[in-house]
Amino acid sequence: MTADNSQPIFFQRHRNFLTGVLLAVLSWMIYFPSTQYGFVYYDDVRVLKDHPEIYGQPNLLADCKAIFLTSFPREEPLLVRDVSWAIDSRIFGFGNPFGYHFGNVLLHGMVVAMLFAFLLGTTRRYNFALATATVYLLLAVHVEPVDWIMGRKDILSALFMLFALCAQAQRLTTTKTAAKYLWYAVTVVCFVLGLLSKISVLTFPLVLFLHAVLLPYLRGEQPPDARLVFGRLVLREVVLLFPALAVSGVIYVWYQHTLAQMGIFDRGYTAHGLGHLWNLLMVNPLGLWLYLRQIFLPTQLAVLYSWPTLQLAYAPWQLAVSLATVIGAVVAGGWMFCRRKDLFFYYAAFFVLMIPYLNLIYIGIWVADRYIYFSAFCVLAVAVSVAEKLWQRLQKTLRLVGVVLVAGFLVNQINQIISYQPVWQNGEALWQNHILLPHHRVKAYDNLGGYYYAEFTDAFAHRNQPRMAAALHKLTIVIDAGLVDFWSDRQQSPPPDTFFLFFLRSLVEEVRGESEAALTSLLISDQLHPRFDSTNLNLSRLYHKLAENSQASSQRENYLRAARDRFAEYIQLAFRDRLPPPDVRAEMAGLEAEYSALAEPLQKILR
């Protein structure tokens, strides 16, 4: 055999593997620039960078001890994700963002390759798997989870879910009993690893069940409209489903208890029962349409979408669209189950995967690009299947129109990636971009101001006066611009959402030595958003400073009492029923002693 003939045979024999590698390499090329990006000061600092005691220990064993044993409760205790961060820290350095970004890019390429492998193994349709995986890697909504360090949980969980699906496909197709048990164990282990990467994986066992029951239709072994027989196969998969559901329940209870200890659920949302269900009905269907738009026609991509959101009263059009969406989704699902069971798998899997993001228990964020990082492939699989059918039926002229539309779709995706990716370079670029978006939220000003204050504190630590002055100047501009934007009518009280701008203003005033002005700003912030732990901490320390500078004993006593009471409230809000750290307890004891030492002589004089 000549070399010319052996080369095509080699590629044909290894076509599937080489295709997966090529898809991974393309995704790495697209997102490699993000390895040069920094922290964006939106959760990545609070959850990761501020915790060297978890991720920056002298060795990996010490990190793992903190992750699994000593550092509880903590916000987002995602054990597998945290271990991956600890590994990045060991290799590249704790404070080096390169390692965390590099890990995201590397894992994302693996997700794309595994998606192709899963679709090919499940459907045995090379062109379908290639088209779906290619469009998936070009989705602009993936910029956020890949370029943001916090997106690690989305990428890791998607990777383990794909591992689980591939392992289950092996279990369902092998004829050896021992191999079936082995692949089932691998499936469950991958599911648990995914669940410990992101808690939203708790509904994934239902996807595994759908995959197992509908695999004959996905592979073309059964006609898509053939009747589903609820016999031994379904009963067996129901039994196999229970261990995974039990694990989901246990980890969910543990995770919810941990977050409750951290006060994560205190969001001021008061609707319950029918009122809560009504809010879900009005907002979630509109969120679905926004997701579809951002998948197929992405525009003005953002971390925080201002629409849809809760309203005191919903417009008639919103009521009509939401109800029509729910009815249409149910009808479409019923039709697919009866006529196209191959498509029903992707359709039902999408909604199952989105259940954790529907705010069923408490209100969080309604819509975020990262929420559809994995489930977007379900929408694409349905779209590619429909496009294949249309292609077979369309005439030559209409096929040309279809090619133009697909080309436009891909060009727009690439253009959105190119324009949106640089926004994630750092906190300044990200939040300045969000401020320029129409219908932006005050949170963009909050986060940009927080970034500049972090710049100021870093410059202060290095005694860099020019950097300190520049950061403080920028912070002042952001605060003033935010208040002008969201509190234009100064005859009215400030909106509650502006509380953090007043909190930031108090920091600027305190740095400038304007203690009384800082106190006024902090009290306004406290009035707009009561029971914010940082406000109480800063009020306590500001009252203590005012007490030290007060000449009148009665005024000093009032300040010290306020400092003590605010610090006590800070402890209650920040630590709940947990024992505060030694330094916090020592500060509280000092305030108690200082107040008692002054109050007792004054009480004797008053008697």
DSSP secondary structure of 484-528: HHH---TTSPPPGGGHHHHHHHHHHHHHTT-HHHHHHHHHHHHHH
In a shared domain, residues 410 and 461: no
Q: What is the pLDDT of residue 2?
A: 46
Answer with the one of 423, 441, 476 that is the final residue of a domain. 423
pLDDT at 524: 98
Q: Which long-range contacts (CB under 8 A, 24 or more apart) does 349-353 make?
A: 349/207, 349/210, 349/211, 349/375, 349/378, 350/375, 350/378, 350/379, 352/203, 352/204, 352/206, 352/207, 352/210, 353/200, 353/203, 353/204, 353/207, 353/378
- For 532-554, b/e burial (b = at least 16 CB within 10 A) is beebbbbbbbbbbbbbeeeeeee
Q: How far, CA to CA in Å, does 197 sit from each of 83, 150, 191, 212?
A: 10, 11, 10, 23
Looking at the structure, do residues 443 and 322 belong to the same domain, yes or no? no
311: left (phi over 0), alpha (psi -120 to 50) or beta: beta
Q: Clarify whether residues 37 and 130 are in a common domain.
A: yes
Residue 156 and residue 114 share a domain: yes
Residue whose structure tokens are 């053939």: 226
Name which of 172, 152, 171, 10 is nearest 83 in CA terms: 152
Determine the Cα–Cα distance for residues 127 and 255; give it in Å rounded to an integer: 41
**How many Å apart are CA 307 and CA 367, to the nearest integer?**
8
What's the number of domains the chain is made of?
A: 2
Residue 298 in contact with residue 140, Cβ under 8 Å? yes
- Can you give the residue range of the structural domain that contains 498? 427-606
297 and 226 in a common domain: yes
- The list of the chain residues with pLDDT below 50 reads 1-3, 606
- Give pLDDT, residue 604: 52
Q: What is the pLDDT of residue 601?
A: 63
Quickly count: other Cβ atoms within 10 Å of residue 240's Cβ: 18
**Given 423, 451, 481, which residue is the final one in a domain?**
423
Query: Are residues 378 and 502 located together in one domain of the fold?
Result: no
Residues 130 and 276 in one domain: yes
Residues 390 and 461 in one domain: no
492 shares a domain with 384: no
**Domain termination residue (choose one: 423, 447, 470):** 423
What is the model's pTM?
0.94
- 285 contact partners, CB below 8 Å, separation of at least 6: 321, 322, 323, 325, 326, 329
Mean pLDDT computed over every residue of the chain = 93
Beta carbons of 545 and 569 less than 8 angstroms apart: no
Q: Write down the pLDDT at residue 540.
A: 97
Say what the pLDDT of residue 268 is.
65
Name the helix (H) or strand (E) containing 597.
helix 582-606
For tokens 């129409």, the residue is 438
DSSP state of 229: P
CA distance 118 to 381: 12
Residue 443 and residue 353 share a domain: no
Assess whether 432 and 580 both reside in one domain: yes
CATH assignment of the domain containing 456: 1.25.40.10
Residues 470 and 405 in one domain: no
